[in-house]
A = this chain, B = another copy of it.
Amino acid sequence: MSAADSLEPLNVSSSPRERFEEYLQSRGLRQTSQRKFLIEAVFAEHDHFDADELIDRLPRRGEKNYVSSATVYRTLREFVDAGLLKSFQLDGRTVYELDYGYPQHDHLYCSRCRKLFEFQSRDLMEIRDRVAAEKGFRVSGHRMIIHGICRECGKSRRKKRKQDLV
């Protein structure tokens, strides 16, 4: 799952790593070699990924810097808690994307090539806030995914997949 047109990172005062260190400090948690390694690995790429894909491109058992998958899962969750990553569900998997240092955005998802594309819309945010206000909701966030066939895939017509969760 790679985004063909990711947004550019924003300028932020501190690096993801520094930010994570603050987070750990503030909670009396420890700065381990695994956590240091993982934060570099995750922020080295700008793409969407799931736990499995991340584990795949990490060192294997026995190799240097190996991190058990249990720790990968635990650490991904911490990254989300720390505000470094966002996560959401897509096709039954948990997808992660960089959050810290990146502008808020939503996604288009091609059900053929399974790639995610990003877009930003101020209007969408306004609608969200207006709807929430009408219903008396205190908004903490939202998730909008537009499903369809991307430009590339639209050119070559192939059979569609069976059941796509929209």
Q: Which residues of A contact B (CB under 8 A)?
A: 77, 80-81, 86-92, 94, 108, 110-111, 117, 119, 121, 123-124, 127-128, 131-132, 134-151, 154, 162-166
Contacts and interface: CB of A to CB of B under 8 A. Distances in A.
A135 B163 contact: no
B146 A131 contact: yes
A26 B165 CA distance: 23
Contacts of A128: 146
Given A94-B165, A131-B121, A142 B140 contact: no
11 contacts: A77-B163, A87-B165, A108-B135, A108-B137, A137-B154, A139-B146, A140-B149, A141-B147, A141-B148, A142-B147, A144-B145
Query: Which 7 A/B pairs are nearest by Cβ-Cβ distance?
Result: A136-B151, A141-B166, A89-B89, A139-B148, A137-B148, A144-B144, A138-B149
Contact of A143 (B111, B127, B147): B147
Nearest to A86: B166
Contact of A90 (B89, B90, B148): B89
Nearest to A88: B165
A132 to B, nearest CB: 6
A132 B146 contact: yes
A39 to B, nearest CB: 18
Contacts of A131: 108, 119, 121, 146
A142 B166 contact: yes
